[in-house]
């Protein structure tokens, strides 16, 4: 790739990240081009669609997802706390921009989406959490990472839509956690085994 093309590409990503943060995923792409000081054609040559641009923006995001999962897994606490910690991370990660949760839950099931690899990262991270909890026999039977992702994605979508703050989201996540974990009295046995 020619040096000027490389520069423009990077600048566009940088500016787009800024604009999307300010105005949400629906922001005008021409605005992005203008603010980056390039023509609309240049933007669309590098990023044929809004989705492809989003994909590029999210490169660094993949690292954050994995870091968050790592961090959550080092937590020493009850399975419920661990699960809730991951849920809160999850919501935060997909709610970086307005409209983010909808975008991501939509792409989740769509193999042809340009950001499908990003979603896989997220699912893989969720899977690590599921495996850990499964090893502790803390989860009910037949709990899959995809379902967990859908449930928490749903909460994030509602929170994003209705402008809920973290305090309002927490109880919703607790309900989901309680629905996924084996009831507490049954679990106390498993806890005892583990410690």
Partner DNA sequence: CCAATATACGGAGAGTGTCTCCGTTTGGCA
Partner DNA sequence: TGCCAAACGGAGACACTCTCCGTATATTGG
Residue count at the site for its own copies (CB under 8 A)?
Answer: 33
Report if residue 141 touches its own copies, rule: CB under 8 A. Answer: no
Nearest to 42 by CA among 55, 27, 29: 29
Give the CA dihedral 124, 130, 135, 139, nearest 10 degrees: -160
Q: Kindly indicate which of the ranges 69-77, 79-87, 122-130, 158-166 contains the residues binding its own copies, using the contact rule CB under 8 A.
A: 158-166
Minimum CB–partner distance for residue 8 and DNA (Å): 3
Question: Residue 149, SS3?
Answer: helix
> Mapping DSSP to helix (H, G, I), strand (E, B) and coil, where does residue 183 land?
coil
Q: Does 108 bind its own copies (CB under 8 A)?
A: yes
2 touching DNA, by CB under 7 A: yes
What residues numbered 38-77 form the site for DNA, per CB under 7 A? 38-42, 44-46, 48-50
Smallest distance from the beta carbon of 194 to DNA, in angstroms?
51
54 binds its own copies (CB under 8 A): no
Q: C-beta of 3: minimal distance to DNA in Å?
A: 3
- Contact 85/152 with Cβ under 8 angstroms? no
Q: Is 37 left (phi over 0), alpha (psi -120 to 50) or beta?
A: left
């Amino acid at each position: 790739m020619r040096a000027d093309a490389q520069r423009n590409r990077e600048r566009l990503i940088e500016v787009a990240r800024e604009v999307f943060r300010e105005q949400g995923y629906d922001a005008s792409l021409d605005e992005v081009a203008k603010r980056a000081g390039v023509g609309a054609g240049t933007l669309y040559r590098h990023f044929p669609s809004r989705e492809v641009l989003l994909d590029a923006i999210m490169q660094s995001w993949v690292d954050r997802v994995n870091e968050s999962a790592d961090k959550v897994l080092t937590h020493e606490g009850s399975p419920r706390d661990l699960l809730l910690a991951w849920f809160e991370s999850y919501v935060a990660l997909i709610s970086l921009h307005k409209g983010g949760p909808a975008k991501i839950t939509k792409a989740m099931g769509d193999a042809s989406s340009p950001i499908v690899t990003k979603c896989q990262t997220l699912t893989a991270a969720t899977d690590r959490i599921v495996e850990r909890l499964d090893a502790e026999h803390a989860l009910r039977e037949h709990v899959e990472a995809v379902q967990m992702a859908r449930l928490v994605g749903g909460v994030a979508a509602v929170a994003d839509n209705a402008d809920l703050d973290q305090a309002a989201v927490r109880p919703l996540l607790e309900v989901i956690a309680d629905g996924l974990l084996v009831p507490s009295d049954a679990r106390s046995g498993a806890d005892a085994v583990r410690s």
